[in-house]
Amino acid sequence: MVETRSGKMQDTSEERIKAEESAKPQPGLPCHKKHAAGLFNQGNTCYSDAVVQCMAHTAPIINECCKEFSPDMLNTDSINGGLILKRFGMLLKAIWSEERAFCPIEFQKQIGMVEEKFGNNTQQDPMEFLQYLLQELHEDFNRTTESPEITETTNEALISWQIYLNQESSPIVDTFAGQIVSTRFCQFCQNISENYEIFKDLSLAIHLKENPSLMDCLEEHFKTEVLDDFTCSNCGTKNSIKKYGVTQWPRVLTLQLKRFSAFDLAKIKKMVIAQQLWTFHNLDRKPNTSCMHFLDTGHCTATCRHPTTNQWYYYNDDSVSKISKDVNTADAYILFYEKMP
């Protein structure tokens, strides 16, 4: 999730503020401790520690992964033979049972056996690691014989979504996958063409205004484009616009703020004001599990909401501290938003 120390929600509706404040805890989760255990840095592994803490506070992931996996539950045909999922499940279980910080050696070793750069204790980009981890966990789930129910429909968006689910099925998809539609509209002949794409995260440029909100960044990301170089297939003119929409929102929306300039790699130190996402494209989300911070030193930390008590904690590798809910900083880098119940 993202927040700002001085930021306030744009939507000040009393009912919605009250709903956010009284967010219902997730029942039935194995999170009985006051807070999750910290993770020792193994030498520049803060990026993976922060990602793991965010995942460890995401209710659907806890439900599906915080357990030991028997061989029949794993996809042994994946590149990892199901072992990353198995090690990840053991790690989550330890995070919510160990009383003190510990070192996730076996998990890191298993990751490094397939992708060396994530196993050699060098600093890596946390977003790249999150994307890699989600893909490997997805591949390791054994759902190869399962197919979602097909609904008879003429809705192109739903047909495209069902085709995707027929090919890719896992709790990772159920939690993080969404669908975007891009529509090309010719202003001369009114010809319309649509294209559907799957996404598991959105990478947002930070809006240029003085105190941008997360909503500003989303609206900029999905703004209408004028296609100067696109030729309409129907009439041959170059008079088209491109609009974006979301046909399927994921259960947990993951947002990355582009904090580094493409020209000189300088960090963009700007506060992005977070709020509950009520109105954007019918998006109904509250700040959920975490805000991952990328500090000037290259160090990564995570701020996470306890899944059953709603109390916020700050995870700086092995150090864990209780904090207030107002936890946003100009270092916020990756944010998690959960669908409202």
Catalytic residue among 46, 65, 66, 232: 46
> What φ, ψ does residue 38 adopt, rounded to 5°?
-75, 165
The yes-or-no answer on residue 207 being catalytic is no
Would you tell me the crossing angle of helices 83-95 and 105-114 to the nearest 10 degrees? 160
The yes-or-no answer on residue 217 being catalytic is no
Would you tell me the crossing angle of helices 126-140 and 46-56 to the nearest 10 degrees? 50
Q: Give the span between the Cα atoms of 136 and 51, in whole angstroms.
A: 14
Look-up: residue for tokens 């864990």? Answer: 320
Which burial class, exposed, middle or buried, applies to 63 when counting CB atoms under 10 A from its CB (0-12, 13-18, 19+)?
middle
Q: Give the span between the Cα atoms of 66 and 46, in whole angstroms.
A: 21
Element of type H or E holding 253:
strand 252-258
Task: Output helix, strand, coil percentages for the chain, rounded to the nearest 5.
Answer: 30, 25, 45
CB neighbour burial string for 150-159, b if at least 16 within 10 angstroms, e if fewer: eeeeeeebbe
Catalytic residue among 103, 221, 281, 299: 299
Which burial class, exposed, middle or buried, applies to 261 when counting CB atoms under 10 A from its CB (0-12, 13-18, 19+)?
exposed
- Cite the active site residues: 46, 299
